[in-house]
Amino acid sequence: MRQESLPKARDDIQSSSLPRGLVLLTDSLRGVATPVTETAFAVWRLANGKRSTAQICQQLATTYDCSNIELASDVERTLRQLGSAGLVEWEGVTR
């Protein structure tokens, strides 16, 4: 995944809280529900099609009081997983 990519959470995904700090992301079109951590949910919410992965890292670094560098691989991995689950798409990037 390139830092210039613009990940976008799908607008048609529903979210609901679960016990133990999990969030359920539901794709009603495909009939699939995916539980994610609160941190993965934060990444998903920040993916608005206007922020790059680097900008998402910057935002989370402020929230979690750590460096962008510490977050970069985790955010990229989370975005790949969300993309594989069909919960995130990439805008402005030819794959």
The verdict on residue 90 lying in a domain is no
Residue 47 and residue 8 in contact, taking contact as beta carbons nearer than 8 Å: yes
Domain that holds residue 30: 6-85
Q: Which two tokens stand for residue 24?
A: 């359920």
Low-confidence ranges of the chain (pLDDT < 70): 1-4, 93-95
Whether 91 is covered by a domain: the verdict is no
| Residue 68, domain CATH | 3.90.930
Structural domain count of the chain = 1
pTM: 0.88
The pLDDT of residue 70: 85
Q: Which pLDDT tens digit goes with each residue over 43-69?
A: 999 999 999 999 999 999 999 899 988
pLDDT at 91: 79
Which residues pair with residue 23 across a beta bridge? Answer: 17, 36
Q: Which two tokens stand for residue 25?
A: 């992301």
pLDDT for position 2: 47
